[in-house]
Each structure stands twice: as C-alpha cells, then as structure tokens.
Amino acid sequence: MLVIEGLTKRYATGDLALDDVSLTVPKGQVMALIGPSGAGKSTLIRCVNRLVEPTAGTIRLGETVLTALGDRALRRARRRMGMIFQEYALVERLSVMENVLSGRLGYVGFWRSWFRRFPLADIEEAFRLLARVGLDHMVDKRADALSGGQRQRVGIVRALMQDPELLLVDEPTASLDPKTSRQIMRLIIELAKERGLAAIINIHDVALAQQFAERIVGLHAGRIVFDGPASDLTPEVLTTIYGEEDWSATIRKAEDDDEDEPPAVEAARIAAAD
C-alpha cells in the first residue's frame, strides 16, 4: 500500500507543482492520474521514487517511510518500485534480453552483473515474461531496432523483473498508435492485477484511463479535484479538471465497451456504477 500525506513540491524556480496532496493506493489497485499539462502528474510520480525531492509531506510504501530514507536505503527501496516511463530509455546497443535482465541489477552483485552472469532463475523468468508480452522471438534483437510498442513492452518486462510492489507509470502510450496504446494499457493492468501490485498511471488519454483504470484521480494546478471510479467521470468533472470544453465526445459510453476488456476492470466498473 502506498500512502501519500500532505505532499507539496515547490521547485527552485518557485513553481508550486503539488499543493498538499494526500492519496492512498492499496495493494492491487490500478489508479489513473489525469490532468492538464503542468498539473503536477509527473512531479507526483517522481516524488514517490524521489527522483524529485518533496518540499513537504510524507510518502510511505508499506512500512517504509520513503521520504525519510538516506541514499543507501533509498536505493534498496527503489527496487520495490517498477518504473515505466515513456522516455525511460532502454540501453540502445544492448539486446532485449540484456535490457530486461538489467531489471535485476538491484539484486545481483556488482561483479556478477558486470560480467552479465545472471542466475538461471532470472533468465527463465525473463523468457517467461517476454513470451507473455509476445517478444520471446526477439530476445537477441538490439533495443535500437525495436518499434515504440515493442520498446514499451521491454520496459514493462524490465520493471516486472524487479519484482516490485508498486508500478509508477508515466505516459506509457504517449507516442503509440491507438491500438498499440490499448494493448500496452491492457498489458500493464493485467500484469499489475495478476501480481497484486499497486499502480499509478499518468495518462493524457481520458477515454483510455476510463476504459482501463478502476480509479481515477484528477489533478488541477497541483491539487486533487476528483477521486473516484471511472463511471463518475462526467462532463462537469472533466471541466473541473481540464477547464471548459465540450466533453460529450470524450466521455466513454458503456455501449463502447470492448469485449476483451480485462474482467477485473469491467467488474470494478460495474460494481462502481451500481
């Protein structure tokens, strides 16, 4: 479980990116974080893994107070957070398998990883996960020869190789076509559900968030202005989050439901709509 209390971030430039944000994400819950550009979505995710230092507030992952950790303990705690970022670069000249195994670097000793001698169990797990995302025929391909969707799958597998408790996902579909975007979102959510991971997914595509996430949190100017099930995302709510606009085409109608939507997500939406 991730517990954020009173999180505030003011950058050195004076920008107040987050203003007293409190949020709990239980184990097994996939939460989409939406909001206009500059609302503070990336800042929130980066405060959790402390790529950005919070100005005030506390963040706990399970029993660990992340905001109180020194360098060493922070490195250890980061193993528990899988990060999937749109721009989170793969090592271009390394193969798919090598990139995936780099997810184990936090666990494998320095010399073993230097010689790229990973335990057999890690390699087997990598093969299993790559097969799961449909890339098992590409293990030897160099990262720089992959398409955007394939790269994102490698990023997902690498994050899962860390055996994390929490997934932090920042705009996973920003440069992908609509179909690939859906496949990637579905994959992230299925895998998170299977493993009982908590996940925060920053996403610009409201319809996609609504289709796949059981809970949506809307940020506006660094404050939470909406927190509820996808079915509660009305035009009025979208106006609060993004500002005045005609939202009728954006809101996802129940009859648009894909047949292949993950059952857990569908069940959550049905339950939330009751």
- Binding footprint of Mg ion on the chain (CB under 5 A): 41-42
> Given the complex with ligand ATP, which of 85 and 118 has the nearer CB atom?
85
Among Mg ion, ligand ATP, none, residue 245 binds (CB under 5-8 Å by kind):
none
Q: Indicate the Cα dihedral angle 122, 125, 131, 134, nearest 10°.
A: -70
Task: Give the x/- contact pattern for ligand ATP in 1-40, rule: CB under 6 A.
Answer: ----------x-x-x-x-----------------x-xxxx
Among Mg ion, ligand ATP, none, residue 17 binds (CB under 5-8 Å by kind):
ligand ATP
H/E run at residue 127: helix 120-132
Q: In 41-92, which residue ranges form alpha helices assigned H by DSSP?
A: 41-48, 71-78
Chain position whose Cβ is nearest to Mg ion: 42
> Given the complex with ligand ATP, which of 37 and 248 has the nearer CB atom?
37
Are 4 and 188 spatial neighbours (Cβ–Cβ below 8 Å)?
no
Are 114 and 148 spatial neighbours (Cβ–Cβ below 8 Å)?
no
- Distance CA(7)–CA(24), nearest Å, equals 12
> Given the complex with ligand ATP, which of 40 and 164 has the nearer CB atom?
40
Residue 97 CB partners (closer than 8 Å, separation 6+):
123, 126, 130, 139, 140
Question: Smallest distance from the beta carbon of 44 to ligand ATP, in angstroms?
Answer: 7
Looking at residues 41 to 70 of the shown chain, list those that interact with ligand ATP (rule: CB under 6 A). Answer: 41-43
Residue 239 CA to its chain's centroid (Å): 25
Question: Smallest distance from the beta carbon of 236 to ligand ATP, in angstroms?
Answer: 21
Question: Smallest distance from the beta carbon of 50 to Mg ion, in angstroms?
Answer: 17
Contact flag: residue 248 with ligand ATP (CB under 6 A) = no
Are 91 and 102 spatial neighbours (Cβ–Cβ below 8 Å)?
yes
